[in-house]
Amino acid sequence: MERKTFISLLVMLLCLGWGFSMTAMAQCPQDPAPVQNPAKMWTRSSSALQLKDTAAVKAEMEKARELAGNDWYFLQLQRLQCNDVDESNTVVQPPGVNLGGTGWHEVSAVPTKVFDNVYYVGGMEVGGWLIDTGAGYIMLDAGYDYSYEEFLKPNIRALGLDPAKVKYILLTHTGPDHIGAANKFQAEFGTKIVFNNTIVNNPWAPGVVTTVMPDGATLTLGDTTITMVLTPRTVGGDGFSYFIPVKIKGKRHLWATYGNTGINGPLANISVYLQSMAKFLTYVDNLRPDIAISSHPFVDGSIRRMELIRECDDRHSRHDLCGPHNPFLIGERAARRYFEIMDQCAVVRYERAAAGLADNGLGPYSPPAP
């Protein structure tokens, strides 16, 4: 056997053995991709800018980087949440809201069966996760209003599913990118919209009627019971996070989604975010999820992970490069680390706000002293 072939086989065997390690997955041949961030925006300004981070900000940022390590899924999350710089010294920032019209327009992702009972039917930037309970579907978030006809319903049908079976939509929060199609599902199919309070006069989904659920409540449909946790990110705000049981090759696992991913100033709001995350982490410790997924697929490499699933499901693909595990299945320790990164990035953003800095840490260029 040639030396090169032997080494390749050895690496493959090691990768198959690592299985549940997210860091190991990033190093294995089935996923050689570098950090890819479709949300990254090059910072543009009419005048020169520079990073103004204080020593306190830099110290907290380093803790977040250590949590992310070299795992490119975690790096996506850490750089976006912290507004950190990438290899090209560019500040990584989210893409903003895509309301359509003459502005940016959300486009469909490839509809994908992710787990035995979970499908992705949403866009490239905003989630549309569909859970088959055996007694109808539960959908997590509802995209923009135009998503309904442009890809949510078509994607559901493309997977051989029936949009009329969407019995519940669970909202993470009420921004236009999460609630937009809720009233349309409700009007056409009688879908119940679940949230932590009554939504009144929401301009993004006029007339929507909510089924109000309390903090810590559970919702059961068919063989699926979902736990809901109130996690606001602003003073007087709202928002739900969810723990959702799923099946992979017939085995039960638990998926956790934090509902208010974005961190908004000022300091009082970031304090609320930190309190919500501390509460959420107690649920993580008690329920022990082994899957962590953002409601925005660009945040944590979900788009790339779904590509891997499709490649491995394709009979023409290199199945010897796929490995035995679903790329979303990261294990309990890694799932907790995922949310620890979010928490630590909120600390970074708090320190920036306390120092009077912009969210991204940038400010006017100051030439060095002579």
Closest by alpha carbon to 301, among 28, 39, 96, 17? 39
Closest by alpha carbon to 112, among 72, 155, 61, 162? 155
User: What tens digit of pLDDT does each residue of 223-241 get?
Assistant: 999 999 999 999 999 999 9
pLDDT of residue 40: 43
Name the token pair of 116.
Answer: 């035995």
Range of 44-58, 80-94, 272-286 with top mean pLDDT: 272-286
User: What tens digit of pLDDT does each residue of 76-88 get?
Assistant: 999 999 999 888 7
How far apart are alpha carbons 141 and 257 in whole angstroms?
A: 11
Other CB atoms within 10 Å distance of the CB of residue 176: 18
2: pLDDT confidence band, cut at 50, 70 and 90?
very low
CA 180, 183, 185, 187 torsion: positive or negative?
Answer: negative
In the chain, where the domains are located: 8-93+273-370
Instruction: Write the CB contacts of 285 (distance below 8 Å, at least 6 apart in sequence).
Output: 336
Name the token pair of 275.
Answer: 């309190």
Is 51:85 a contact under the CB 8 Å cutoff? yes
Instruction: Write the CB contacts of 149 (distance below 8 Å, at least 6 apart in sequence).
Output: none
Q: What is the mean pLDDT of residues 131-136?
A: 98
Q: What is the mean pLDDT of residues 262-286?
A: 97
User: What tens digit of pLDDT does each residue of 297-316 get?
Assistant: 989 989 999 999 998 877 66
pTM of the model: 0.86
The three-state secondary structure class of 240 is strand
More confident residue, 19 or 273: 273
DSSP per residue, 203-250: TTSTT--EEE--TT-EEEETTEEEEEEE---STT---EEEEEEEEETT
User: What tens digit of pLDDT does each residue of 17-53 get?
Assistant: 333 333 333 333 344 444 444 444 444 556 677 889 9
Is 231:216 a contact under the CB 8 Å cutoff? no
pLDDT > 90 fraction of the chain, expressed in percent and rounded = 68
Name the token pair of 124.
Answer: 């490239």
